Amino acid sequence: MSHENLENTHRLFRAVEERDVAGLLAAYDPEIVIRDAELLPYRGIYHGLEGAKQHIEGAAQTWNPFKPSPTERKMDAVFLALVNNKMT
């Protein structure tokens, strides 16, 4: 994973934690395709940034009622990459 991709992934996780829709959309490629499991209320396939925005709105309608605190939303993500069959 390149340094640029790693930084972008960190920005994406921060945006999710902070409920920052603009930040989340900025982390996505304009041609993103999101596929959600059929068991989710917001299931489906979403295309492009407009589709990503619809996905975010659907996920928010499902999960926001649980009202997690900022501490509970903190993901403390750790990223590992496999490059040439070696963990980095």
Tokens describing residue 55: 């996905």
pLDDT over 70 for what percent of the chain? 80
Indicate which CATH number applies to the domain containing 13.
3.10.450.50
Which residue range is the domain that position 43 belongs to?
Answer: 3-87
Q: pLDDT per residue over 48-74, tens digit each?
A: 999 999 999 999 899 888 777 777 766
The predicted structure's pLDDT at residue 76: 66
Nearest Cα residue to 57 out of 11, 85, 19, 31: 19
Lowest mean pLDDT among 13-17, 19-23, 24-28, 77-81: 77-81
Judged by DSSP in three states, 81 sits in coil
- Number of structural domains (the chain) is 1
pTM over the 0.95 mark: no
